[in-house]
Structure 1
Amino acid sequence: MNKKKNTMLQLIESRKNKIEEALGNHASLNADKLIRVVSTDMRKNPKLGQCSPESILGAVIQAATVGLEPGGVLGHCYLVPYWNHKRQSLECQFLLGYRGMIKLARQSGEIANIEARVVYENDRFDICYGTESRIDHQPCLDGDPGLIKGVYGLAKLTSGEYYMEWMPLQKIEEIRTRSKSSNDGPWQTDYEEMAKKTVVRRMFKYLPVGDAEQKAAQKEEQDELGVSDPDIIESTGEVVNMSDHSQKQQVLTVNDLNKAL
C-alpha cells in the first residue's frame, strides 16, 4: 500500500507543472500545497491509496482548475474513491461541496449573496411561484424539527433581482442514488451539505456565473452522475435544450421578495 501511495505521489509530483498551469490565477493555492493535501487525504482514507494514479491526478487537476482545496474544515471539495464496475477497480472522483459551489458562484461578481437551507417536517414552510413568487420559511426552534422535507436555494443578484429553487427530498434522493459515490464520502458523512450543494448546482444553470465556473460545475455533475450529455436534467433524465429560456424558472424582483420576507 505504501509503495502504491508513493508511486501516486511521485506521479503527481512529476506533473506539478500541469497542476500549476491549471491553478492559473488562484493565488491562495499552489501545487505543493495540493500535493500535501492529497498525501494527508490518503492517510485518512486508505481507499484513496487504492485508486488508479491517473484518476487521482485528474481529480487534483480539477480541484486546481477551480482553485479549491480538497478536504479540510471548509469542505470546498472532496477526493472520493468509488468502484468502477466497468474497469473493476477503485477510482478517485472530484466532488464539489456546498461551500465550494457558493465560492464559485460569488466569483462571477454578479451574485451578491447565495445560500441554501434545509426544510424539516415541523418547520413552517410555504413556497409560491407566479407573478408574486415567494418563500416563507419559519424553522422549528423548539423540540424535534422532524425529518428533512426538502431544500431550497436563494440567490440575490447585484442587479437586485432574486432567483429561487426548491427541491423536495425525493428529488434529492434520486440524484444521490445515481451518484457514483452515493454510499461513500460526503453523501454519508455530510448529507445536508451535499443536499444543499445539489440545489445550488441546479441553480448554476440559470445564474450569471462565469464560463469557467459553469463548466466546472457541469463537468463535476456529469462525472458524479456518470452522464456525458450536458442537456440531461439530473433529477429525471429528461432531455431538454438548456438554451430554451422557457425552461428557466422566474427571476424575482426585489419587491417580490420584500413582500415574501
Structure 2
Amino acid sequence: MATNSALKNQLANKKEATNQVSAQSLGLKSLLGTPTMKKKFEQVLDKKAPQFMASLLNLYNGDPNLQAAEPMSIVSSSMVAAALDLPIDKNLGYAWIVPFYDSKKGCKVAQFQLGYKGYIQLALRTGQYKAINVIPVQEGELIKWNRLTEEIELDLNAASSDKVIGYCGYFKLINGFEKTVYWTRDEVEAHRIKHNKAKDKKSLNNVWRSDYDAMAMKTVLRNMLGKWGILSIEMQTAFAEDEREIKDITPEEEDKSNEEDIIDYVPPEESSSKDEKSDIQQDFGFEG
C-alpha cells in the first residue's frame, strides 16, 4: 500500500514530466514562450530580449520558407544575431536567418548569415575605422581602375544605365591606413559559383536570388576586411559563424544530431478574449 509520501513523490514526478518536452515538438511561438528560452535570450540581450523575440516571431510569420524550418535551428541562428546585437529584419540587411534543405535530416533547417551592413556595423564598433563603405558601380561610372596601385576613378554622376558592372569597397583606419578594392560583376559571379553548394552551381538561391547586390557587396567587403582589416574578437566570431555551412551528415553525426533538446514547457491557458497581438505582448514581456 502506497504511503502519503510516496503518492506525493509520484504526483510531483508526474507533474515534472508533463513539463518536460522535446524542443522540436513545439512551434516557434510556444518554444520562445518557454522559461528556458526566455532566460537564454535575457542572458544575452537583457531588457532588449522581448523586442528581439517579437521581431523573430514577426520574421517567422512573414516567411513561409522559414516556417518550414526546424524551430530549434531558427532559435539557434537568431541567438547568434542576438549575441552580436544585430537586428534580424531582412529588410535592414544586417543579418539574415536563412532556411536551407538538409538532405540527411530530410527537412529544412535555418542558418545565420551576416549581411554587408552587419560587417560595417561590427567594424565601426572596434573604434579603429575612420571610414568604411561598399557600393555597386553602374555602367558609365567607372573611369579608371589600377589593380596594382589600387587607384580608382569614379564619376558617380555619369551612369549611362542601371546595369551594375562591379562593386567597390573602401576603408580607412584611424592610423591612416586605407584600402580600396574593386570587383567586376564577372569576378563576383565566378566567386559565387565556386562556393555555391547547390548541384546547379549557376543557380541563384536564398538571398542571392532575392537581393543579389547585397550579397555581392557583402562578398567584396568580407574579402577586403578578412585580408586587410583589423578584426575584433566580435568580428572574428561573426566571420566564423558566417562561414559555417550546412554539411552532409555522416551516420555517426546523424545519431548525435537527432538527440532532442528537452526543455521546460508550461502550456498556455486558453482564452478567447485575447487577440494575437496581446498574446505576443504577454508571452515576451510587453505591457499591454
- Measure the CA separation in 1 of the matches of 2:230 and 2:145: 23
Structure 1 pair 90/143, CA: closer, same or farther in 2 (3 Å)?
same
Return the offset for 1:73. Answer: 4.1
The answer to whether residue 216 in structure 2 is matched with residue 200 in structure 1 is: no
Corresponding residue for residue 100 of structure 2 = 82
Residue identity opposite 1:7 in structure 2:
G
- Post-superposition Cα deviations, 1:142-167, rounded to whole Å, max 9, x if no partner, equal 54243x22212100111122012222
Corresponding residue for residue 117 of structure 1 = 135
Aligned equivalent of 1:17, options 33, 39, 44: 39
Structure 1 pair 95/30, CA: closer, same or farther in 2 (3 Å)?
same
Corresponding residue for residue 259 of structure 2 = none
- Measure the CA separation in 2 of the matches of 1:169 and 1:142: 16
Corresponding residue for residue 141 of structure 1 = 158
The answer to whether residue 151 in structure 2 is matched with residue 101 in structure 1 is: no
Contact 1:97 1:197 in 2 (8 A): yes
Corresponding residue for residue 221 of structure 1 = 243
- TM-score after normalising by structure 2: 0.67
Contact 2:136 2:166 in 1 (8 A): yes
Q: Which runs of 5+ in 2 are unaligned?
A: 1-23, 249-288
Instruction: Please give the secondary structure, in 1, of the residue aligned with 2:245.
Output: helix
Aligned residues between the structures: 217
Contact 1:19 1:61 in 2 (8 A): yes
Corresponding residue for residue 191 of structure 1 = 212
- TM-score after normalising by structure 1: 0.73
Corresponding residue for residue 210 of structure 1 = 232
Corresponding residue for residue 185 of structure 2 = 169
- Percent identity over the alignment is 25
Instruction: Please give the secondary structure, in 1, of the residue aligned with 2:81.
Output: helix
Residue identity opposite 1:127 in structure 2:
W
Contact 2:139 2:161 in 1 (8 A): no
Which structure would you say has the larger Rg? 2
Contact 1:107 1:209 in 2 (8 A): no
Higher relative contact order (CA 8 A, sep 6+): 2
Q: CA RMSD in A?
A: 2.7
Instruction: Please give the secondary structure, in 2, of the residue aligned with 1:208.
Output: coil
Q: Which runs of 5+ in 1 are unaligned?
A: 228-261
- Measure the CA separation in 1 of the matches of 2:234 and 2:180: 22
Return the offset for 1:83. Answer: 1.3
Contact 2:141 2:159 in 1 (8 A): no
